[in-house]
């Protein structure tokens, strides 16, 4: 029986229009796998051949400050694509290495060059606003050969939102100029009054160079080779020379090592988990960008390689035990850009913490509102929460004092404009039609809904945001006491206690035996089972007896897929395992939930979550956990199903294994007593031993080994530097 595929425009319009301006479309599968590189404010998306723009996928290129400065770089061998031998990114994420060879070359029906005679090693990396590529060409044949290598290049200077699919009626003016026999300049005069330019330089001088192609005619003796270098410089003076290839490569690797030198090293008894952790840490420090305020983890590649408030705060929280310097950089940067005035288009209000920062042409023209955009309900309480956690992790009262005005401004926003109707809960409702409809971490237009599937109308009070506010006020109270502000501390503690009482009355649903997703603008409960209830646990707002019920819910089959906890229970009306927020699995969400399990003493509950994500990563390319993956139930002999346009790497997903490890080991830090504690430590079944090296507290550090023993863990101190104590505390876990 034939299947008829019908078009239903009305339904499609209803489902897609609200999200259309900033929706990331999945228009088809790329014919070649993709690789990503990043350094500072530059990132590159290349295919498995080391090419850009060679396939129907439109997302390749070299990007700098939210603009694609190079959209095409294709290698041709005698006019044909070379054959792929293999490609891989180095363990530290600094270099993409690609192995290529020649196809059979036939002229006049005669084979003139057998395939696999010429080996090409294509090496690519980024450093300080420049993309470098080397072609190492070697003749393995017994005779000299004449070959043509062509590098086809071009730049469209598309804004990142154009690359994502946003259509523009007008664009600026582009031109290409051949500066000299080895250099071409690509220029774009934008409508924002800025000139952006890309310099493409070749070394040695090509046989022929025009505005689109650099051509090399090579004669390779037998068993001999040659090298060709290409440097693509973004927004640098057109006559300046790029740093030589090998010197730049050394600099890129050195800078990555320097960025990660304060981080704790992790080594375990499981080699696959070691690969997963190695990739996570490499991804995090690749995404780390040195800003004027300190290191900041950019959210993800390709769509979110910029400062995001929520993402940076949660990533810093996940990394706090391993490298608290990241939290310091995040806090200082977000304090520097904290809103001081009101602006409707950017949804700025005094005290509010930044959601997103963009540096492209569309943001400058305000064709998108994201130049400095504040449409986030949770970044502000998370800022206060992280500031308190950072102070307790490090004892850095000097920074706490410096940040206190920003903390007070954030608290004032929470109690003022953040409470839209004065009911004591923090809500959101977008001010401009250009802004985000939903402004929590689940920011898809359809992520907040009622049990019957109706979308909730604002102002919306999300459950987990009330937990963030509660934790922020408790931590701010303790911070105030550290600074001698006793009256303010008492006020904040009283506010937190009152919020907890209101929250229990308004958000608990006896019919669900769980907390609801949100309250809508009419104060009606969105009676939906979601992972948001799980995130409440790490904040401490949940009553202990109800925590047990929430944990039981989350470990049930409707939530726990075998790979992790879904964002929405499979019993709900809008559940879809392939959706972005309504049934998928987000590693960072699972890690925060696991931290909550640990807080309420349910250490055994962490294991199925930790184990599921670990086993999912064993199926992932490079052992890399992506931003999210689909929430289908696990089946024997099958791996997890990937989500087609997930960012990979994504900072808070990369940091998820680190937080899971902390939750399992119960790592706590007490700078006043110079003590590191492991509270009810426990390891999952796939880890017999974990070694932590350079675990720091202030100026002191230790190396230790935790070994699994039945349901507990033994700890051995291998080295200590400075006056520091390591203790193991049992008795809290159930």
- Cα separation values, 685 from 369, 639, 664, Å: 48, 20, 12
Query: Residue 732: pLDDT band by 50, 70, 90 thresholds?
Result: low
**513 in Cβ contact with 553 (< 8 Å):** yes
Handedness of CA 621, 624, 628, 631 (dihedral sign): positive
Which run of H or of E encompasses 112? Answer: strand 110-113
Which of 182-186, 353-357, 432-436, 605-609 bottoms out in mean pLDDT, i.e. has the lowest?
432-436
User: 247-275 pLDDT, tens per residue?
Assistant: 999 999 999 999 999 999 999 999 999 99
User: Long-range contact list for 102-107, CB < 8 A, 24+ apart?
Assistant: 102/77, 102/78, 102/147, 103/77, 105/78, 105/80
| Cis peptide leading into residue 227 (ω within 30°) | no
For residue range 692-730, what is the model confidence (pLDDT) as tens digits?
A: 999 999 999 999 999 998 888 999 999 999 999 999 999
pLDDT exceeds cutoff 90 at 596: yes
Handedness of CA 350, 355, 358, 361 (dihedral sign): negative
- Please write down the HEC assignment for all residues of 34-57: EEEEEECCEEEEEECCCCECCCCC
What residues contact 219, with CB distance under 8 A and at least 6 apart? 144, 145, 146
Spatial contact of 286 and 649, defined as CB atoms under 8 Å apart:
yes
Dig out the tokens for 569 from the structure.
């229970």
Burial class (CB in 10 A: 0-12, 13-18, 19+), 422: exposed
Query: Rounded to the nearest 5°, which phi and psi values hold at 378?
Result: -105, -15
CB neighbour burial string for 454-473, b if at least 16 within 10 angstroms, e if fewer:
ebbebbbbbbbbbbbbbbbb
Alpha helices for 121-166 (secondary structure H): 160-163
Q: What is the mean pLDDT of the chain?
A: 94
Confidence of residue 7 (pLDDT cuts 50, 70, 90): very low
Backbone angles phi, psi at 70, to 5 degrees: -145, 125
3-state secondary structure of 373: strand
DSSP label at residue 171: -
Q: Is the pLDDT of residue 4 over 80?
A: no
Full DSSP string of 73-110: EEEEETTBPPEEEEEEE-TTSSEEEEEEEPPPEEETTE
**What's the whole-number mean pLDDT along residues 380-387?**
98
The pLDDT of 41-49, averaged and rounded, is: 96
- Convert 649-662 to b/e letters by CB count within 10 Å (16 or more is b): bbbbbbbbbbbbbb
Q: Give bridge partners of residue 44 from the DSSP assignment.
A: 37, 62
Question: Can you give the pTM of this predicted structure?
Answer: 0.94
Is the pLDDT at 29 greater than 50? The verdict is: no
Beta bridge partners of 676: 669, 726
- Per-residue model confidence (pLDDT) at position 9: 33
Sheet bearing 712-721, strands edge to edge? 265-268, 689-697, 700-709, 712-721
Q: Residue 518 and residue 529: Cα distance in Å, rounded?
A: 10
- Name, in order, each residue with C-beta under 8 angstroms of 169's C-beta and a sequence gap of 6 or more: none
Question: Average of pLDDT values for 613-632?
Answer: 96
- The domains of the chain, with CATH numbers, are 9-254 (2.70.98.40), 262-670 (1.50.10.10), 675-729 (2.60.420)
Contact present, 606 and 663 (Cβ < 8 Å): yes
Find the DSSP H helices in 483-540.
Answer: 486-507, 532-539
C-alpha 529 chain-centroid distance: 26
Q: Nearest Cα to 425, choosing from 342, 498, 360, 371?
A: 498
Sign of CA dihedral 560, 564, 570, 573: positive
Gap between the Cα atoms of 17 and 393, Å rounded: 45
Q: Which of 11-25, 100-114, 119-133, 409-423 comes out lowest in average pLDDT?
A: 11-25
Both ends of the chain: CA-CA distance in Å?
58
pLDDT cut 90: percent of the chain above it: 90
Residue 271, burial from CB neighbour count under 10 angstroms (0-12, 13-18, 19+): exposed
Q: What is the pLDDT of residue 28?
A: 44
Q: Work out the average pLDDT over 324-352.
A: 97
The rounded distance, in Å, linking the Cα atoms of 59 and 9 is 27
Residue 552 has pLDDT above 50, yes or no: yes
Interatomic CA distance for residues 349 and 439, integer angstroms: 15
| pLDDT given at position 109 | 85
- Phi first, then psi, for residue 14 (nearest 5°) are -60, -40
- Contact present, 286 and 647 (Cβ < 8 Å): no
Distance CA 554, CA 606 (A): 11
Question: How many other C-beta atoms can be found within 10 angstroms of the C-beta atom of residue 77?
Answer: 21
Q: Which residues pair with 130 in a beta bridge?
A: 127, 233
| Cα 341 from chain centroid (whole Å) | 29
Q: Tell me the C-alpha distance between 68 and 507, whole Å.
A: 45
Name the strand (E) or helix (H) holding 135. strand 130-139
Identify which of 114, 56, 59 has the alpha carbon closest to the alpha carbon of residue 83: 114
679: tokens are 């509270």
| Residue 279 confidence class, pLDDT cut points 50, 70, 90 | very high
Total number of residues shown for the chain = 734
pLDDT in tens, 405-461: 999 999 999 999 999 999 999 999 988 888 899 999 999 999 999 999 999 998 999
- Which pLDDT does position 1 carry in this prediction? 35
Q: Name residue 87's beta-bridge partners.
A: 98
Q: Is residue 56 predicted with pLDDT exceeding 80?
A: no
Q: Angle of helix 656-665 relative to helix 587-599, nearest 10 degrees?
A: 10
What tokens does 219 get?
A: 């004669």
Q: At what angle do helices 245-260 and 271-287 cross, to 10 degrees?
A: 110
């Amino acid at each position: 029986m034939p299947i008829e595929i019908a078009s239903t425009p009305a339904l499609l319009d209803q489902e897609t229009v609200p999200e259309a301006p900033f929706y990331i479309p999945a228009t088809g599968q790329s014919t070649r796998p993709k690789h990503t590189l990043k350094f500072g404010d530059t990132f590159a998306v290349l295919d498995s051949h080391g090419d850009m723009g060679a396939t129907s996928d439109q997302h390749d290129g070299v990007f700098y400050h939210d603009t694609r400065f190079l959209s095409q770089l294709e290698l041709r061998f005698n006019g044909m694509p070379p054959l792929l031998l293999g490609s891989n990114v180095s363990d530290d994420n600094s270099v993409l290495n690609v192995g290529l060879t020649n196809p059979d070359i036939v002229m006049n029906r005669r084979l003139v060059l057998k395939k696999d005679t010429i080996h090409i090693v294509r090496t690519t990396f980024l450093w300080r606003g420049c993309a470098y590529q080397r072609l190492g060409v070697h003749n393995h044949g017994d005779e000299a050969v004449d070959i043509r290598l062509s590098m086809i290049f071009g730049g469209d200077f598309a804004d990142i939102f154009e690359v994502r699919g946003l259509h523009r009626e007008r664009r600026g003016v582009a031109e290409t100029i051949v500066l000299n026999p080895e250099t071409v300049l690509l220029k774009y005069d934008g409508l924002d009054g800025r000139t952006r330019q890309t310099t493409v330089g070749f070394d040695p001088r090509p046989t022929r160079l025009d505005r689109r192609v650099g051509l090399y005619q090579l004669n390779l003796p037998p068993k001999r080779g040659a090298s060709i270098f290409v440097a693509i410089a973004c927004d640098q003076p057109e006559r300046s020379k790029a740093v030589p290839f090998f010197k730049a490569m050394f600099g890129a690797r050195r800078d990555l090592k320097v960025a990660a030198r304060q981080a704790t090293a992790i080594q375990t008894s499981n080699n696959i988990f070691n690969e997963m952790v190695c990739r996570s840490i490499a991804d995090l420090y690749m995404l780390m960008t040195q800003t004027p305020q300190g290191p900041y983890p950019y959210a993800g590649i390709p769509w979110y390689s910029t400062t995001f408030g929520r993402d940076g705060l949660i990533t810093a929280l996940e990394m706090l035990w391993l490298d608290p310097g990241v939290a310091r950089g995040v806090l200082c940067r977000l304090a520097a850009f904290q809103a001081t005035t009101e602006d409707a288009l950017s949804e700025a209000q005094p005290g509010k913490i930044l959601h997103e920062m963009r540096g492209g042409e569309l943001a400058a023209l305000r064709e998108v509102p994201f130049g400095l955009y504040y449409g986030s309900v949770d970044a502000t309480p998370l800022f206060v929460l992280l500031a308190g956690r950072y102070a307790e992790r490090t004892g850095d009262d000097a920074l706490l004092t410096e940040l206190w005005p920003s903390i007070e401004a954030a608290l004032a926003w929470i109690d003022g404009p953040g409470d839209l109707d004065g009911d004591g809960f923090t809500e959101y409702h977008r001010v401009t039609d250009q802004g985000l409809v939903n402004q929590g971490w689940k920011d898809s237009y359809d992520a907040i809904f009622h049990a019957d599937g109706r979308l909730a109308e604002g102002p919306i009070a999300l459950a987990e945001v009330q937990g963030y506010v509660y934790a922020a006020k408790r931590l701010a109270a303790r911070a105030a006491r550290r600074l001698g502000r006793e009256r303010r501390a008492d006020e904040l503690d009283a506010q937190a206690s009152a919020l907890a009482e209101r929250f229990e009355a308004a958000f608990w649903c006896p019919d669900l035996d769980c907390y609801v997703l949100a309250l809508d603008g009419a104060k009606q409960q969105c009676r939906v089972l979601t992972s948001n209830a799980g995130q409440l646990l790490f904040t401490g707002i949940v009553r202990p007896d109800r925590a047990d019920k929430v944990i039981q819910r989350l470990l049930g089959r409707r939530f726990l897929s075998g790979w992790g906890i879904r964002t929405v229970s499979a019993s709900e009306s809008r559940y879809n395992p392939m959706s972005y927020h309504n049934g998928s699995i987000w590693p960072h969400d699972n890690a925060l939930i696991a931290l909550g399990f640990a807080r309420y003493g349910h250490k055994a509950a962490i294991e199925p979550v930790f184990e599921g994500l670990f086993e999912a990563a064993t199926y992932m390319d490079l052992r890399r956990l992506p931003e999210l993956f689909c929430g289908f139930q696990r089946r024997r002999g099958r791996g997890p199903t990937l989500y087609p346009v997930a960012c990979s790497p994504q900072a808070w997903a990369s940091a998820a294994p680190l937080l899971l490890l902390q939750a399992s080991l119960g790592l706590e830090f007490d700078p006043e007593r110079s003590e590191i504690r492991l509270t009810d430590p426990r390891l999952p079944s796939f880890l017999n031993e974990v070694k932590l090296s350079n675990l720091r507290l202030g100026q002191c550090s230790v190396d230790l080994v935790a070994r699994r023993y039945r349901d507990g863990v033994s700890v051995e101190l291998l080295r200590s530097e400075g006056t520091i104590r390591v203790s193991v505390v049992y008795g809290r876990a159930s």
